[in-house]
Amino acid sequence: MKSDVILGLQWGDEGKGKIVDYLAAKYDVVARFQGGPNAGHTLEFDDIKHVLHQVPSGVFRKNTKNVIGNGVVLDPVIFKREIEALKKFNIEPFYNLFISKRAQLILPTHRLLDAAYEKSKGDEKIGSTLRGIGPTYQDKTARIGLRVGDSISPNFIEKYNKLKEKHLSILKMHEFEYDLETLETEFFEALEYLKKFKLVDTEVLINQSLAAHETVLAEGAQGSLLDIDFGSYPFVTSSNTTCAGVCTGLGLAPSKIGQVYGIFKAYCTRVGGGPFPTELKEAVGERIRTEGREFGATTGRPRRCGWIDLPALKYAIMINGVTQLSMMKVDVLDTFDEINACTHYKMKDGSLTDAMPFDLCNEDITPVYKTFKGWKVDLTRLTDYKSLPKELMEYISFLEEELKTPISIVSVGPNRNQTIFRSNHFSQ
Ligand code: GDP
Ligand code: IMO
Ligand code: MG
């Protein structure tokens, strides 16, 4: 068997959590491969809304094993809080959750460093979620980080103190106030809690699952345009959010990658700083934000909104080897008379391109739009592809032709049930 993958093609918050939860019923294993509690994945069913940060979105499917892979950075405090919240819904992830011993631990001082670095950047700040993601990955590549498996070694405290001292010496250079004692008490309590879970070699578990013909779904966090290598650097996150991250973040060979589901919104959003060529700063952007309830699931910040960006989507599809697409939040555009899609970028010298420039941050780009007539139909109750309005079907056909990839899922509301699956509409 091969592992299928779900990942975001824009700047995050495309609706990955909803689709992972929807598809998880068909999978034996759901595995997060990168990122950490910077993610906020929303799931809605039975009139309840859940936001997951660390725990994979297959957790509500009782027969599905959930894996936190080695590529993830894990904050025990947020993890504990999340598990306790799930217990209220009779979900007991103790039994079907497996955590990689190789996943890196987010320490309290990583969070402090994140805040200190952001503060020192002034106007150029990235708009980090301040969950300690960057500093933790930094220590991983500097080969000084602490892994989940280290927490059970007898000299863990020694290693912890050594790293903490290093962090404190950096923090001294920043004007920054903090109460580390409280943070540490909470951290060590949560670490003891975490140690009761199944801490395993998840790379072995996943490969054995595939060998035993179990189905595996890898769940991405963030989006392709936030990828450390291919995103709008430096306004990115610190991990590979793209398909290659599945191999390094779960220990899967490239030949073990199956279907790659690329998720995109019918428009585009971004939270935090950085370039966004199709951003709408005036009334239309505000209208998308209101209709789409575009406020961050992790930080509550208003998301920046704009029209769909096809050059960026084409780039993300190429990097990820996307085999099928999920078009999300289509219902948000239900009341619009006209809908725009950016087909090209007009560069400063007047030339048109649909290629991604090297440095999106320093380019003077004017988006070139193709305008479509709105469908003006409430999509939220529709369950069958054939019942979609003609204008929307034409728009979907246009996107499929431009992106050269089939759209197999059309999402028309936040609820698990508001998902239209075109079962025979993708290439295997
Ligand atoms: P993720 O990070 O990719 O999992 O996405 P988020 O959960 O951060 O943001 C997506 C938001 O859109 C959540 O509030 C979802 O409940 C909501 N959502 C997902 N799909 C749809 C949809 O098709 N229509 C509408 N209106 N909302 C949706
Ligand atoms: P999900 O999985 C949207 C953004 C932050 C910031 C930049 C770096 O819910 O799609 P970081 O905390 O990683 O150092 O922040 O990346 N960012 C996200 N934006 N959705 C996310 O996750 C994000 N995770 C990080 O806003 O601009
Ligand atoms: Mg999110």
Between the CA of 266 and the centroid of ligand 2 the distance, in Å, is: 19
Say yes or no: CB of residue 311 within 6 Å of ligand 1: no
Q: What is the DSSP letter of 72?
A: B
Do 115 and 176 form a contact (C-beta atoms < 8 A)?
Answer: yes
Helix 133-141 and helix 108-120: axis angle, to 10°? 110
Q: What share of the chain in percent tops pLDDT 90?
A: 91
Rounded to whole angstroms, how far apart are CA atoms 426 and 428? 6
Do 53 and 298 form a contact (C-beta atoms < 8 A)?
Answer: yes
What mean pLDDT, rounded, does the chain reach? Answer: 95
State which of 18, 289, 294 you would mutate to test the pocket of ligand 1, scoring each by most atoms of that ligand within 8 A of its C-beta: 18
As to burial, measured by CB atoms within 10 angstroms (0-12 exposed, 13-18 middle, 19+ buried), residue 299 is middle
Residue 92 has pLDDT above 90, yes or no: no
Q: What is the DSSP letter of 365?
A: -
Of residues 292 and 122, the one with the higher pLDDT is: 292
Q: Which of 91-100, 144-153, 411-420 has the lowest mean pLDDT?
A: 91-100
Residue 428 has pLDDT above 50, yes or no: no
CA 1 from centre of chain = 25
Between the CA of 295 and the centroid of ligand 3 the distance, in Å, is: 9
HSE value, Cβ hemisphere, 13 Å, CA-based, for 135: 27
Residue partners of 131: CB distance under 8 A and separation at least 6? 36, 37, 38, 75, 78, 106, 111, 114, 298
Rounded to whole angstroms, how far apart are CA atoms 236 and 61? 32
Among 13, 21, 75, 331, the one annotated catalytic: 13
Six-digit token string for 174: 């920043």
Candidates 32, 225, 226; CA nearest to 129 is 226
Candidates 359, 31, 372, 391; CA nearest to 206 is 31
Please give all residues whose CB falls under 5 A of ion ligand 3, grouped by chain where several chains appear.
Answer: 13, 40, 297
Instruction: State which amino acid sits at residue 155.
Output: N
Distances (CA, A) of 369 to 89, 181, 283, 316, 323: 46, 54, 18, 19, 26
13 is catalytic: yes
Beta-strand relationship, 216-219 and 3-8: parallel
Candidates 196, 190, 226; CA nearest to 316 is 226
CA 113 from centre of chain = 23
Calculate mean pLDDT across residues 54-81: 96
Q: Which residues line ligand 2 (CB under 6 A)?
A: 8, 11-13, 38-41, 126-129, 131, 133-134, 221-223, 226, 237, 271-272, 297
Q: Which of 96-100, 121-125, 148-152 has the lowest mean pLDDT?
A: 121-125
Six-digit token string for 8: 């975001």
Helices (H), 5-95: 16-24, 76-87
Among 41, 110, 167, 344, the one annotated catalytic: 41
Instruction: State which amino acid sits at residue 116.
Output: A
Do 31 and 69 form a contact (C-beta atoms < 8 A)?
Answer: yes
Residue 67 has pLDDT above 90, yes or no: yes
Say yes or no: CB of residue 16 within 6 Å of ligand 1: yes
Tell me how long the chain is: 428
pLDDT tens-digit readout, 318-359: 999 999 999 999 999 999 999 999 999 999 999 999 999 999
Residue 214 has pLDDT above 60, yes or no: yes
- DSSP-based three-state secondary structure for 41: strand
Do 227 and 8 form a contact (C-beta atoms < 8 A)?
Answer: no
Distances (CA, A) of 32 to 57, 68, 100, 265, 343: 9, 5, 10, 21, 32
pLDDT for the residue numbered 424: 62
Q: What is the DSSP letter of 362?
A: G
334 is catalytic: no
Q: How confident is the model at residue 361 (pLDDT cuts 50, 70, 90)?
A: confident
Q: What is the DSSP letter of 351?
A: -
pLDDT tens-digit readout, 271-306: 999 999 999 999 999 999 999 999 988 888 899 999
Between the CA of 65 and the centroid of ligand 1 the distance, in Å, is: 23
Between the CA of 40 and the centroid of ligand 1 the distance, in Å, is: 10
pTM for the complete prediction?
A: 0.97
Rounded to whole angstroms, how far apart are CA atoms 211 and 195? 28
Q: How confident is the model at residue 93 (pLDDT cuts 50, 70, 90)?
A: confident
Residue partners of 86: CB distance under 8 A and separation at least 6? 50, 55, 59, 92, 93
pLDDT for the residue numbered 40: 96
Rounded to whole angstroms, how far apart are CA atoms 226 and 402? 23
pLDDT for the residue numbered 69: 98
Which residue's CA lies nearest to atom 26 of ligand 1?
Answer: 413
